[in-house]
Amino acid sequence: MVLPLRTPLQRIDEIDGLRALAMTGVVAQHCGLAPFGWTGVWLFFVISGYVISRNFMQREYDTGNWKAEYAHFMLRRFFRIVPVYALYVAIGALILLLIGRSSALRDLPFLLTFTQNWQLIFQLWPNPKDWTGFGHLWTLSIEEQFYVVYPLLFLLLSTRRYTAALIVLVAAGPFVRFLYSAALSQTGHGSPWLAFAVYASSFAHFDAFLLGALIARFEPQIRGRDWVWKAVTAIATTTAALFVLTYWHTNRTEGAQGIDAFRDIFSGILYGQGLEVFVYSVVNLLAASALILAILRKPVTRPLAWPGVSLVGRISYGGYLYHALFVWLFAMALPASDGYRSILQRVVLLVCAWSATVAIAYVSFRWFEAPISDWSKRSLRPRRRTKTLGECASGLPKHSSMGS
C-alpha cells in the first residue's frame, strides 16, 4: 500500500496565492492583456494533482476497502465541483435563452458530462454558434477525466509501483503528445486546429497532474533536503531558457525579426517543429518549481500568503467559472473598433471583470460552495469496515484497500 504522509495536513496560504495568480492570468488573457495567461490553467493542474494526492496520503478517504474509498473520493469531488458548476451552466443557459442564442445550448450534454473538450476539438455534435461564456469549461472536463482515472493508480498499486508509475507517466508526457499530434497531422486539418486539439486533450496533459502527485509523494524528502528545491528550480529555469532560445533561433531562421522572433513560443499557435510536444512540459516544470517554493514557504513566495491574495486563491474555482461571464458582459460595454481594443480599454476591461469576478466568487464560496462542501465532509465521513476475528488475529485486513 502507498505509505501515508507523516506531516499533518494543513492549508498552505502560499498555494492559495498561486491559485490566485493562475486565475488572474487566465482572466488577463481573456481580456487581451496576457497571451501567456493560459499557463495558469496548467498551474491549476499541477496544484490539483498535489492536493488530491496529499489528501489520499493523509487517508482522507480511508475506508478499508479500495472500492468504497474510490466512491468516497468521487462523491467528495462531486459535491465540491458540480453544484457551483451546474449553477454557472444554468445561469449561462438562461442568458442564452434571453438573448436569443439558444443554438449554443446544443453543447449542454457535453458540458454536463464533462466531455466538452472533445466536443470543441472534434465537433461531435454540430454547433456553429459558440459562446464565450462556456468557452473555458473544457478545462474542467480535463480535470474531471483525470479524477476518474488517477485514484485507481493510488488505490491499486503498491508504494513502489505507484511511485514508478508516476515517474514513467510524467516522463512519457512529451512522447504521448508526440504520438497524438502525429496521428492528428494525418487528418489534413490546419495548424490552428492541431494546436487546439493537443491543447484541449485530457490524456495529453495528465502528466501535469501527475507531476503534482509526484511532489506529494516525495514531500517529506523535499522538506528534509534543502538541495531538492534548488535542483528543481535550476532544472525548470534552465529548461525554460533553452526552450525559448531554441524556438527564438528557429523563428529567426524563418525570417522573424525583433520581438516577432518570440512569437508562438508560449503563446499563439503552439504547434509545429515539436512545439506542441515540449511547451507543456516546460510549463509543468515551472509550475512544479513554483509549487515546491510555495510548499516550503520560501521568502520569494511570502506575498502569495498575504490575506487578500490567499483569499482570492481560496475562491478561485468559482472565480474561474464566473470570470468568462463578466468578461463577456463588460466587453459589450467596451465595444472594439474594427475588432481591436486599445491597451487602456483592455486594462479597464481586466479591472472591471476581475473585480466583479472576485466579488461574486466570494459570495458564491461563502454562502453556496463552502456550506455544500462542509456538509459533504461531515455527511460522507468514511467508515472503516469492522475487522473479523481472524483478521484481528492476523493483523491484516481481509481485503486490502490498496495493492500490497
pLDDT at 396 (0 to 100): 30
Tens place of pLDDT per residue across the chain (404 aa):
565 554 555 789 999 999 999 999 999 999 999 999 999 999 999 999 999 999 888 877 777 789 989 999 999 999 999 999 999 999 999 999 999 988 889 999 999 999 999 999 998 888 766 678 999 999 999 999 999 999 999 999 999 999 999 999 999 999 999 999 999 999 989 999 999 999 999 999 999 999 999 999 999 999 999 999 999 999 999 999 999 999 999 999 999 988 899 989 999 999 999 999 999 999 999 999 999 999 999 999 999 999 999 999 999 999 999 999 999 999 988 877 777 889 999 999 999 999 999 999 999 999 999 999 999 888 877 665 444 333 333 333 333 333 32
pLDDT at 124 (0 to 100): 87
pLDDT at 384 (0 to 100): 58
Sequence-separated (6 or more) residues with CB below 8 Å from residue 80:
369, 372, 373, 376
User: What pTM does this model have?
Assistant: 0.92
Q: What share of the chain is helix, strand, coil (3-state, %, to 5)?
A: 75, 0, 25
Type of residue at 366: R
pLDDT at 129 (0 to 100): 66
Are the C-beta atoms of 125 and 107 separated by less than 8 Å? yes
pLDDT at 400 (0 to 100): 34
pLDDT at 387 (0 to 100): 41
Residue with cell 494546436: 195
pLDDT at 9 (0 to 100): 58
pLDDT at 374 (0 to 100): 92
HSE-up of residue 157 (Cα within 13 Å, Cβ side): 13
pLDDT at 399 (0 to 100): 31
Q: Sketch the domain layout of the chain as residue ranges.
A: 15-166+207-225+286-382
Are the C-beta atoms of 315 and 219 separated by less than 8 Å? no
